[in-house]
Amino acid sequence: MATSQWRLIASICFMALAGLSAKVVGAETDKPPFYQVQWQGKSAYLLGSIHIGRADFYPLPTQIETALGKAKGLVVEVDINKVDSTALLQQYGRADKTKGLDWQSRDKQTVESMTPYCAATANVCQSIQSFAPWLQATQVNLLRYNDLGYSTDYGVDMQLMARYATLPVYPLETAESQFQLLASFNSQEQWSMVREAISASDAELLSLITAWRSGNETELDSIMQEQMGGEGDTKMLEKILWQRNHVMADGIIKLMGSTDVTSPLFVVVGAGHVVGDKSVVQLLEQAGAKVSACWKQTCQ
């Protein structure tokens, strides 16, 4: 199974902001990555999420819903209710000719890839021409998921923030830091994201969702790791995933150690952050926290 750079971005970043007959299990039998964290007498629940979904994701499995009912605060990547997306898009999401990010600067390989796609979806290509390539890739990605019956409206973080709007919200990052990160990749890397967004198969799109719903953490980790062997890809993993894992783990520890924050907390971050040997889970354990996998034992 091939894994694309844009899939990595879409699955773990804030922006990532039923067409097939594939069998999908009900939410009650789902087992997404879910943990309990204990640190200095305080506790938190940690859920690895995806930022797209559909109605049959909800309600979440009983053990997760029970934990949500106990939560005294919601910890998220970004507090979406405090984001000025218009200003951020204007600053980081526009095509920049001086950096080779405008439509006319597309390389031959990208033009060849986009030509048949744009012939079939002229309205889409017309609407994204003024965007930076990373944002074009994100939009194509979201549109393809929409065609398969999935939407950011049913993303786990979006749903939880809407359902538990009375809880205090503690962001681990800022939207601007995520926009800056995506905009920091060079033109070659960004146009590669666009090509991958167009060429990936529907099966590849759905594999991430299947792995998440089934709780297959090995597969989730593979999705993040495959085709990341080159120098550029390793840099992308380092910047998008591993460096942010440190920010998130440090933020969780800080919140749990604060006398101003009541536990238990419910933490929801992209699933890519909680799997693998450089994950938030591993970093929390290295910091001295006790982390328990809730599907292997019933968390308190």
Q: What is the pLDDT of residues 83-122, one digit of tens each?
A: 898 999 999 999 999 999 999 999 999 999 999 999 999 9
Residue 289 above 80 pLDDT? yes
Cα 71 to Cα 99, 157, 176, 263, distances in angstroms: 46, 15, 27, 7
Tens of pLDDT along 204-220? 899 989 999 999 999 98
* pLDDT mean over 40-54: 95
Separation of alpha carbons 198 and 204, rounded Å: 12
Work out whether the CA dihedral 63, 69, 71, 73 comes out positive or negative.
positive
Structure tokens at 201: 């198969």
Specify the pLDDT at position 25: 47
Q: What percent of the chain has pLDDT over 70?
A: 89
What lies within 8 Å, CB to CB, of 110 at 6+ separation is 191, 194, 195
End-to-end alpha-carbon separation of the chain, Å?
A: 37
Q: Answer for the pair 20, 54: CB distance below 8 angstroms, yes or no.
A: no
Specify the pLDDT at position 228: 47
Tens of pLDDT along 186-197? 999 999 999 999
What are the E-state strand segments in the chain? Answer: 34-39, 42-49, 73-76, 169-171, 265-270, 290-293
Residue 265 above 90 pLDDT? yes
